[in-house]
Amino acid sequence: MSRIGKKPVGLPSGVTATVSGQTVEIKGPKGVRTFKATDDVSLAVEDSAVSVTPRGSSKRARQQWGMSRTQIANCVTGVTDGFKKELEINGVGYRASMQGAVLKLALGYSHDVLFEVPTGITVTAPKPTEIIVEGIDQQQVGEVAAKIREWRKPEPYKGKGIKYKDEYIFRKEGKSK
């Protein structure tokens, strides 16, 4: 039995959910998210909560049970609070700035890196060494943050590069005589 799957997903005030077939549509103050569940689970909305139950006792049905419930809970969190990833830039001359819908990164290359921000995602640079990625889709927020970080990953000797705010960089000792 899935401990996660057993719990119904509570809907806070201002959030509505509608189930049509295997699709759940969740509307909230920040937007609308949909999730399409597999045929191994059944979905139901009852007294301001979405419940997920497996169809049968096969291994796949039990796997989809907890995963579907978590995906629906993430949709509810996205339309109420949203998701946020914070990045830090370390290095002399490394900086970031927003120019419209384009993130301009100076990362020690011979040219500035121009990163087009996808729709549905908000990127801000409150300081030249900070980048904040926000949105209602957790997967998309994480993917955009990872693509920005990919331009200059933190190196282990001086820690220069783009890192997540809560990330620990394992430092190495340099050469010694």
Q: Pick the last residue of a domain from 29, 60, 80.
A: 80
| Together in a domain, 69 and 121 | no
Q: Pick the last residue of a domain from 41, 59, 80.
A: 80
The reply to whether 113 falls in a domain is: yes
CA dihedral 130, 28, 63, 65 (to 10 degrees): 160
| Together in a domain, 54 and 20 | yes
Q: What CATH number corresponds to the domain at position 23?
A: 3.90.930.12
Residue 76's pLDDT is what? Answer: 93
Residue 2 has pLDDT above 80, yes or no: no
Residue range 5-21: mean pLDDT, rounded: 90
| Together in a domain, 100 and 151 | yes
Residue 175's pLDDT is what? Answer: 86
Neighbours of 134 (CB within 10 A): 16
Contacts of 52 (CB under 8 A, 6+ apart): 5, 8, 9, 37, 41, 42, 43, 65, 68, 69, 72
The reply to whether 175 falls in a domain is: no
The 10s digit of each residue's pLDDT in 35-78 is 999 999 999 998 889 999 998 888 998 889 989 999 999 999 99
- Rounded to whole angstroms, the Cα distance separating 84 from 141 reads 7
The 10s digit of each residue's pLDDT in 18-38 is 999 899 999 999 999 999 999
The reply to whether 62 falls in a domain is: yes
Domain count, the chain: 2
The 10s digit of each residue's pLDDT in 75-122 is 999 999 999 999 999 999 999 999 999 999 999 999 999 999 999 999
Domain that holds residue 36: 3-80
Place of tokens 């191994």: 40
The reply to whether 170 falls in a domain is: no
Q: Pick the last residue of a domain from 55, 80, 105.
A: 80
